[in-house]
C-alpha cells in the first residue's frame, strides 16, 4: 500500500513540475523533431484554427489582407495555433480592428480576442508584425507608427487574457526587417508604395486620379505590381493643400532625394516619370526619358557627348570648333587690323564660276542594318529656376524596355544650395554631377506622376510630350541625402515585393 502511495505522490509531483514548466517556460518540453512546428504539453489538447485561416473568414466580417495575416501564439500554448488578421464588420468597412481566432474554439466566435477599432482611436499600419515583447509567452501586435516626437517607431499592444490592450508601447528590439523599414521612414516626406492603394503612407500628400486609374486593394498575394498608366489619358496629380499645389506640408525646395521603381511598357515621346513645376519651362524638376527611346543616331550622339557631361552648362565649344573667347577690341582697331579695313579694299574685275558635279539622287530605302529595335531609353533629369534651365543630366541606355528599373537621385555633401548630385541605377552608383542644383522653389502648382508639364505644348520641330505608359512602384522623396547602403536595402526590399530574383 505504501508503494502505491509513493508512486501516486511521485506522479502528482511529476505532473506538477510539467504544469509549472509549461507556465513559466512553455518551450521547455517539445517534440524531438527539428523540422516540425514547436509543440508543447498544452498544445496537444488544442488544434490550429481551421475554419478561419488564410482563405476562410467569418461571413459577418471582411478581411483586409494588406496587414498581418497568419498564425501566432496568443493563447500561451507554446505553438502558433491562433490565426490573427485585420478585419472590419461587413456593415462598417472603415472600422478595422485586429483579431485572433483562438485554437481549440472551432466554430465559436473568431473576433472576441481583438484590439479596439480604428473608430475608437486604434492606429494601424501596413508595416505590422507579431512578437512577444514582454516575455509572457503571448505574441503581441506591433506596427510602425509616428510617435509623439514625430519619429516613426515600432509600437506594440500587449496580448492579455481577454484580448489586446489599447496602450501603445515601443518595441526596443524589433526584427531586422522592421529595422530596415524604420531607416526608410527617416526624413521621408512623401512615400507612395502603390501596393494595395494609392496613398502616401507619410500622410502629407494626396493623389488625384485622371483617366480612372485603379489599383487592386484586395491583393491575394504579397507580390506587388505597382500602379499602371495606359499612356493615353491616365496620370496622377499630387497635392498637399486645397489649391492643388505642393509646398504647404512638403517644401519642395528642401527635397534632396527622389527614388522610385519604373517599368516602361512602351517608350512614349519624352515621357515623364514625374514632373513638378508651375507650367512648361517654369520652375520644373522632372525625371523622364528622351524622345521615344535610343535610336542609332541618338546613341551615336550620346557617345560623342559623354566627355561633355560635366560641363554641359557651358555654351562655348572646345577649340578649334566654333567661336571662342577673344580679346576685346575697339571698332577703330578692328578697322585697321582686320579685313574690315575699307581703305585697302581691292575690287575684283570678274569672277570665274566653278563647275560642280550633278547632285546625287537620294535613296529613300535605308541600308541594311541601319536601324535596330529600340530596347533602351536615355534617362533625363532636369531642374529649372523660373524659365532658366539650371541643370540637365542625361544617362544613355540606362532604361530598358519592359523591365523594372530602380532610380535614385540624391545629393552629396553639405552645400545647402548647390550640392553634388549622385545618380544610382538599380542600386549601383552611375554618375556624379558636381555643383548641382536643388528644386528652385518650395511651392509648385502642377505636380504630376506620369504626365509632363509640356504635354499640351507643341512646336514646328517637335511633337508634344506624351503620357507615360507603364508602371510605377515605391515612389519616395526625402529631405536629406541617402546613403549607398540605404539605396541597396531599398532595391533589395523592392525586388522582394516585385518578385524580382
Taking alpha carbons only, the member of 99, 357, 66 closest to residue 198 is 66
Measured CA to CA, the distance from residue 164 to residue 120 in angstroms comes to 14
pLDDT, mean over the chain: 84
For domain 195-308+372-498, the CATH class is mainly beta
Q: Which residues contact 401 (CB under 8 A, 6 or more apart)?
A: 264, 266, 267, 293, 374, 375, 376, 377
User: Which conformational region is residue 138 in: left (phi greater than 0), alpha (psi within -120 to 50 degrees), or beta?
Assistant: beta
Question: What does the pLDDT read at residue 34?
Answer: 32
Going by pLDDT thresholds of 50, 70 and 90, the confidence category of residue 131 is: very high
> For residue range 13-65, what is the model confidence (pLDDT) as tens digits?
555 655 555 555 544 443 333 333 444 444 445 677 778 888 899 999 999 99
What proportion of the chain, given as a percentage, has pLDDT over 90? 66
Question: E strands within 111-234?
Answer: 113-114, 128-131, 140-146, 152-157, 169-170, 188-192, 206-210, 227-230
User: What percent of the chain is helix, strand and coil (3-state, nearest 5)?
Assistant: 15, 30, 55
Contacts 24+ apart (CB under 8 A), 107-111: 107/51, 110/49, 110/51, 110/52, 110/58, 110/61, 110/83, 111/58, 111/61, 111/87
Measured CA to CA, the distance from residue 242 to residue 238 in angstroms comes to 11
362 φ/ψ angles, rounded to the nearest 5 degrees:
-80, 135
Going by pLDDT thresholds of 50, 70 and 90, the confidence category of residue 11 is: low
Q: Is the pLDDT of residue 314 over 50?
A: no
Question: What does the pLDDT read at residue 28?
Answer: 44
Mean pLDDT score, 423-436: 97
Domain locations in the chain as residue ranges: 43-185, 195-308+372-498
Lowest mean pLDDT among 102-116, 118-132, 287-301, 325-339: 325-339
Going by pLDDT thresholds of 50, 70 and 90, the confidence category of residue 319 is: low
For residue 296, give the 3-state DSSP assignment. Answer: helix
Cell numbers found for residue 170: 515601443
Question: What does the pLDDT read at residue 317?
Answer: 56
Question: What does the pLDDT read at residue 41?
Answer: 47
Distance, CA of 309 to chain centre: 28
Mean pLDDT score, 3-21: 58
∠ CA(440), CA(444), CA(446), 5° rounding? Answer: 130
Report, in angstroms and rounded to the nearest whole number, the Rg of the chain calculated over CA atoms.
Answer: 33
Question: What does the pLDDT read at residue 32?
Answer: 32
Question: What does the pLDDT read at residue 425?
Answer: 98
Mean pLDDT score, 287-298: 86
Taking alpha carbons only, the member of 42, 30, 18 closest to residue 104 is 42
Lowest mean pLDDT among 180-184, 210-214, 242-246, 364-368: 364-368
Taking alpha carbons only, the member of 152, 124, 144, 145 closest to residue 64 is 124
For residue 262, give the 3-state DSSP assignment. Answer: strand
Mean pLDDT score, 461-478: 92
For residue 20, give the 3-state DSSP assignment. Answer: helix
Question: What does the pLDDT read at residue 30?
Answer: 36
> For residue range 64-105, what is the model confidence (pLDDT) as tens digits?
999 999 999 999 989 999 999 999 999 999 999 999 999 877
Distance, CA of 487 to chain centre: 11
Going by pLDDT thresholds of 50, 70 and 90, the confidence category of residue 298 is: low
Measured CA to CA, the distance from residue 461 to residue 469 in angstroms comes to 23
Contacts 24+ apart (CB under 8 A), 100-106: 100/72, 100/74, 101/49, 101/51, 101/52, 102/49, 102/74, 102/75, 103/43, 103/46, 103/47, 103/48, 103/49, 103/75, 103/77, 104/45, 104/46, 104/47, 104/75, 105/49, 106/47, 106/49, 106/50, 106/51
Question: What does the pLDDT read at residue 373?
Answer: 79
For residue 326, give the 3-state DSSP assignment. Answer: coil
Question: What does the pLDDT read at residue 304?
Answer: 56
Measured CA to CA, the distance from residue 490 to residue 177 in angstroms comes to 11
Q: Is the pLDDT of residue 10 over 70?
A: no
Question: What does the pLDDT read at residue 302?
Answer: 57
Q: Which residues contact 156 (CB under 8 A, 6 or more apart)?
A: 131, 133, 140, 141, 142, 168, 169, 170, 171
38 φ/ψ angles, rounded to the nearest 5 degrees:
-65, 125
Mean pLDDT score, 324-346: 56
Q: Is the pLDDT of residue 307 over 50?
A: no
Q: Is the pLDDT of residue 321 over 80?
A: no
What pTM did the predictor assign?
Answer: 0.78
Residue 368: count other Cβ atoms within 10 Å of its Cβ.
6
- Using the 8-state DSSP alphabet, how is residue 54 labeled? T
Lowest mean pLDDT among 10-24, 103-117, 260-274: 10-24
Amino acid at each position: 500500500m505504501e508503494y502505491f502511495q509513493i508512486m501516486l505522490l511521485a506522479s502528482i509531483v511529476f505532473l506538477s513540475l510539467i504544469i509549472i514548466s509549461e507556465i513559466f517556460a512553455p518551450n521547455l518540453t517539445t517534440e524531438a523533431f527539428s523540422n516540425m512546428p514547436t509543440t508543447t504539453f498544452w498544445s496537444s489538447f488544442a488544434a490550429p484554427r481551421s475554419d478561419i485561416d488564410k482563405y476562410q473568414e467569418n461571413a459577418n466580417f471582411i478581411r483586409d489582407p494588406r496587414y498581418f495575416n497568419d498564425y501566432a501564439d496568443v493563447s500561451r500554448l507554446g505553438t502558433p495555433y491562433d490565426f490573427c488578421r485585420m478585419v472590419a464588420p461587413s456593415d462598417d468597412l472603415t472600422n478595422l480592428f485586429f483579431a485572433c481566432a483562438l485554437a481549440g474554439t472551432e466554430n465559436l466566435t473568431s473576433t472576441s480576442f481583438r484590439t479596439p477599432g480604428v473608430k475608437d482611436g486604434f492606429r494601424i499600419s501596413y508595416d505590422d508584425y507579431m512578437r512577444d515583447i514582454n516575455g509572457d509567452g503571448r505574441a503581441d501586435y506591433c506596427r510602425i507608427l509616428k510617435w509623439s516626437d514625430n519619429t516613426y517607431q515600432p509600437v506594440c499592444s500587449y496580448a492579455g487574457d481577454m484580448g489586446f490592450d489599447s496602450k501603445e508601447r515601443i518595441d526596443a528590439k524589433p526584427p531586422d526587417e522592421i529595422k530596415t523599414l524604420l531607416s526608410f521612414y527617416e526624413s521621408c516626406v512623401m512615400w507612395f508604395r502603390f501596393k494595395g492603394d494609392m496613398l502616401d503612407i507619410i500622410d502629407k500628400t494626396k493623389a488625384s486620379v485622371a483617366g480612372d486609374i485603379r489599383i487592386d486593394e484586395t491583393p491575394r498575394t504579397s507580390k506587388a505590381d505597382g500602379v499602371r498608366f495606359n499612356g493615353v489619358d491616365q496620370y496622377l496629380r499630387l497635392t498637399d493643400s486645397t489649391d492643388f499645389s505642393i509646398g504647404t506640408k512638403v517644401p519642395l525646395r528642401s527635397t534632396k532625394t527622389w527614388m522610385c521603381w519604373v517599368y516602361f511598357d512602351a517608350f512614349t515621346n519624352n515621357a515623364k516619370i514625374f514632373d513638378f513645376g508651375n507650367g512648361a519651362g517654369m520652375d520644373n524638376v522632372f525625371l523622364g526619358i528622351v524622345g521615344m527611346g535610343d535610336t542609332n543616331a541618338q546613341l551615336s550622339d550620346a557617345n560623342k557627348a559623354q566627355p561633355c557631361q560635366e560641363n554641359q552648362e557651358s555654351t562655348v565649344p572646345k577649340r578649334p570648333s566654333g567661336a571662342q573667347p577673344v580679346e576685346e577690341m575697339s571698332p577703330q582697331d578692328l578697322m585697321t587690323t582686320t579685313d574690315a579695313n575699307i581703305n585697302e579694299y581691292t575690287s575684283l574685275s570678274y569672277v570665274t564660276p566653278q563647275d560642280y558635279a550633278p547632285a546625287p539622287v537620294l535613296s529613300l530605302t535605308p541600308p541594311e542594318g541601319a536601324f535596330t529595335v529600340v530596347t533602351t531609353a536615355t534617362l533625363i533629369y532636369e531642374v529649372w529656376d523660373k524659365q532658366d534651365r539650371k541643370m540637365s543630366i542625361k544617362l544613355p541606355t540606362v532604361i530598358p524596355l519592359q523591365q523594372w528599373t530602380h532610380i535614385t537621385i540624391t545629393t552629396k555633401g553639405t552645400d545647402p544650395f548647390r550640392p553634388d548630385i549622385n545618380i544610382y541605377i538599380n542600386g549601383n552608383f552611375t554618375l556624379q554631377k558636381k555643383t548641382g542644383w536643388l528644386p528652385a522653389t518650395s511651392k509648385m502648382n502642377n505636380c504630376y506622376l506620369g504626365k509632363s508639364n509640356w504635354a499640351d505644348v507643341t512646336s514646328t520641330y517637335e511633337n508634344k510630350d506624351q503620357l507615360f505608359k507603364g508602371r510605377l512602384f515605391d515612389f519616395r522623396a526625402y529631405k536629406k541625402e541617402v546613403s549607398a547602403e540605404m539605396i541597396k536595402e531599398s532595391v533589395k526590399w523592392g525586388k522582394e515585393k516585385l518578385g524580382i530574383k
